[in-house]
């Protein structure tokens, strides 16, 4: 599978959620934290949740399986496909497929994560989450998108200090 995603197209704001941060780390380190399972498991779920499992085939058409664990011990797997990967620049992935060309039972979103150098050793991190419907975006927002993804970004910032 060879897919290239044109993510520059205008997208309806009512179906998109965006989180942006400036990290005090070069973009190759931020990219590594997203693409190396050992690193991703250290920051990906908002505490007290954890990420006990991550299998990432980081390439266009590659699969991902990330398992988050809630405080009661329940596991929440999330499967998806990478649509586009540009090393140290962007990751585009979706839960619309669970493996190449196998549709998921309930597609929810496409995520576009970009890494841009803004100064020596600093990276603008932007996570854009595009939803199929306004209702899906509203549901994601009610799941505390900004708080949860924001807390994960804080945890990522802490991890980046150690790399």
Residue 5 within any structural domain of the chain: no
CATH of the domain at 131: 3.30.530.20
Residue 78 within any structural domain of the chain: yes
Full residue range of the structural domain in which residue 130 is found: 16-160
How large is the average pLDDT for residues 52-79? 96
Residue 3 within any structural domain of the chain: no
Residue 54 within any structural domain of the chain: yes
Establish whether the linkage from the previous residue to 35 is cis, with ω within 30° of 0. Answer: no
Task: Tell me the β-bridge partners of 114.
Answer: 90, 126
Domain count, the chain: 1
Residue 4 within any structural domain of the chain: no
Beta strands 16-23; 90-94: pairing state: unpaired
pTM: 0.90
Q: How far is CA 111 from the centre of its chain?
A: 6
Query: How do residues 104-140 score in pLDDT, each as one tens digit?
Result: 988 889 999 999 999 999 999 999 999 999 999 999 9
């Amino acid at each position: 599978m060879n897919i290239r995603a044109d993510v520059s197209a205008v997208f309806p704001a009512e179906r998109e959620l965006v989180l942006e941060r400036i990290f005090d780390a070069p973009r190759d380190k931020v990219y590594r934290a997203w693409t190396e399972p050992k690193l991703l498991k250290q920051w990906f779920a908002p505490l007290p949740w954890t990420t006990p499992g991550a299998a990432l085939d980081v390439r266009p058409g590659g699969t991902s399986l990330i398992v988050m664990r809630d405080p009661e011990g329940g596991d929440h797997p999330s499967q998806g496909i990478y649509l586009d990967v540009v090393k140290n620049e962007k990751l585009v992935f979706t839960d619309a497929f669970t493996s190449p060309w196998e549709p998921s039972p309930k597609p929810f979103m496409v995520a576009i994560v970009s890494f841009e150098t803004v100064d020596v050793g600093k990276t603008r991190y932007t996570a854009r989450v595009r939803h199929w419907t306004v209702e899906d975006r509203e549901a994601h927002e009610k799941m505390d998108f900004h708080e949860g993804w924001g807390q994960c970004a804080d945890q990522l910032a802490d991890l980046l200090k150690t790399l």
